[in-house]
Amino acid sequence: MTIPVMKPWLGEEEVAAAAATIASGWIAQGPRVREFEAAFADRVGAAQAVAVSSCTAALHLALLLLDVGVGDEVVVPSFSFIATANAVRHAGGVPTFADVDPVTGNLTGKTVEQALTDRTKAVLLVHQAGVPADVDEVRAVCSARSIPVVEDAACAAGSRLGDGPVGRGALMAAWSFHPRKLLTTGEGGMLTTDDVEWARRARRLREHGMSVSAADRHAMARVVLEEYLESGFNYRMTDLQAAVGLVQLRKLDEMVTRRRALADRYRQLLRDVAGLQLVTDPPHGQTNYQSFWVVLPDDFPVTRDELLGLMLTAGVSCRPGIMAAHLQPPYAGARFALPVTERLTRRSVILPLFHTMSHGQQDVVARVLQRAAA
Ligand SMILES: *Cc1c(COP(=O)(O)O)cnc(C)c1O
């Protein structure tokens, strides 16, 4: 028996939606994408949603809309999937790594403030592993200097901030539909914002800079010659993906409820492991538990990598904790010391958590950890 770290929750409805799209004859960006955008915008409380091919693409577009260019600094956490930093490079900018809070794994007002310079053009605030970052606190630091805050909400569909969904009130937020996240379309992403002009330009940039989208041109009864108003990208989502996304979006609440129940059960099962730190809700919101990560205490009897080995032997697929970009070759070294990031990345483990996970499977995972701790 192998227990995966994550498994998308897909069923007959997704199969039927994809099949119906194929049967319709229109599979590239078209009516399903538009429908998915409207439904997603509504779900996260944004006025506009622009579907794209990945969250990395959405982050890239967000930075371009803010005019991030060569030499501009963008403050990001190193403690994130490397795409966060890569998006800054794609725009020509320079990622400036700031440290994170030891409990949430997110940037804070204080760590961001320490990383700001005269060349800071924007801040990319990650809701890491679905745990909502304290957006108000970071914004308060940034707005004093008129620095825009973009939210990397790749993992955070279904998470809550204050009394609303993550995404509500965001200047711009970027989302991922990779199968490692809750809601999946295979690959895919979304850029949300309340700004109509930004959304309009993002729609143009995702489709080669075309003045009229291919789908709109197709729907017109007259000859329309498009113009290419600026050099854009092919960042389109397909109708096949959007059809699956529409079904997944309807299941999102149920996914979050299930993950939160399983996370509570992990907390019960692991409460006797001395010194073990478990990911949890911050005071200002609720996580969707995109990842259930734990931090081993310094005096844990086995090393982190030995624990991963023990899990594997027991048929459990775990992952080392969230990576630190500044420890990888493209970003080697950091201008500021990042002691919290380095400790979390070396001492943490992501435990399996997926919608159809059984209590029996959870017991297996907990037992390996308990035995290793004994
Ligand atoms: C997964 C992830 C991304 C990248 O998402 P893609 O859709 O694969 O491009 C970016 N940022 C964070 C924090 C992520 O977890």
- pLDDT band of residue 1 (cuts 50, 70, 90) is low
For residues 227 and 312, what is the distance between their CA atoms, to the nearest angstrom? 55
- What is the helix, strand, coil percentage profile of the chain, to 5? 40, 15, 45
Nearest CA residue ID for atom 1, ligand 1? 154
Q: Provide φ and ψ at 247, rounded to 5°.
A: -70, -45
Six-digit token pair at 261? 């129940």
For residue 181, the CA-to-ligand 1 centroid distance in Å is: 9
For residues 20 and 253, what is the distance between their CA atoms, to the nearest angstrom? 24
For residue 172, the one-letter residue type is M
Instruction: Look up residue 228 and give its DSSP letter.
Output: B
- Residue 251 CB coordination number (10 Å): 18
| Contact yes or no for 318/5 (Cβ under 8 A) | yes
What pLDDT does 333 receive?
78
What pLDDT does 241 receive?
98
For residues 72 and 88, what is the distance between their CA atoms, to the nearest angstrom? 9
- Residue 265 CB coordination number (10 Å): 15
Six-digit token pair at 187? 């690959």
For residues 158 and 61, what is the distance between their CA atoms, to the nearest angstrom? 23
**How many residues appear in the chain?**
374
For residues 146 and 35, what is the distance between their CA atoms, to the nearest angstrom? 34
List Cα–Cα distances, 304 to 47, 114, 200, 293, 295, in angstroms: 44, 30, 47, 13, 9
Note if 251 is an active site residue: no
Tell me the best of 5, 54, 55, 177 to mutate to test the pocket of ligand 1, counting ligand atoms within 8 Å of each CB and taking the most.
Answer: 55
Pairs from 140-147 (Cβ < 8 Å, separation ≥ 24): 140/109, 141/109, 141/112, 141/113, 141/116, 142/112, 142/116, 145/116, 145/120, 147/116, 147/120, 147/121, 147/122, 147/123
- pLDDT band of residue 336 (cuts 50, 70, 90) is confident
Cβ contacts of residue 245 below 8 Å, gap of 6+? 36, 40, 51, 177, 183, 185, 188
Q: Which residue's entry shows tokens 């007259």?
A: 222
Nearest CA residue ID for atom 5, ligand 1? 55
Six-digit token pair at 277? 């730190």
Q: What are the tens digits of pLDDT across the range 24-57?
A: 999 999 999 999 999 999 999 999 999 999 999 9
The burial class, CB within 10 Å (0-12 / 13-18 / 19+), for 156 is buried
For residue 310, the CA-to-ligand 1 centroid distance in Å is: 28
Percentage of residues in the chain having pLDDT higher than 90:
93
Over range 294-310, report the average pLDDT: 97
Q: What are the tens digits of pLDDT across the range 71-130?
A: 999 999 999 999 999 999 999 999 999 999 999 999 999 999 999 999 999 999 999 999
DSSP secondary structure letters along 69-97: -TT-EEEEESBS-THHHHHHHHTT-EEEE
| Contact yes or no for 322/295 (Cβ under 8 A) | no
For residue 84, the CA-to-ligand 1 centroid distance in Å is: 7
Catalytic residue among 7, 110, 181, 251, which?
181
What pLDDT does 214 receive?
83
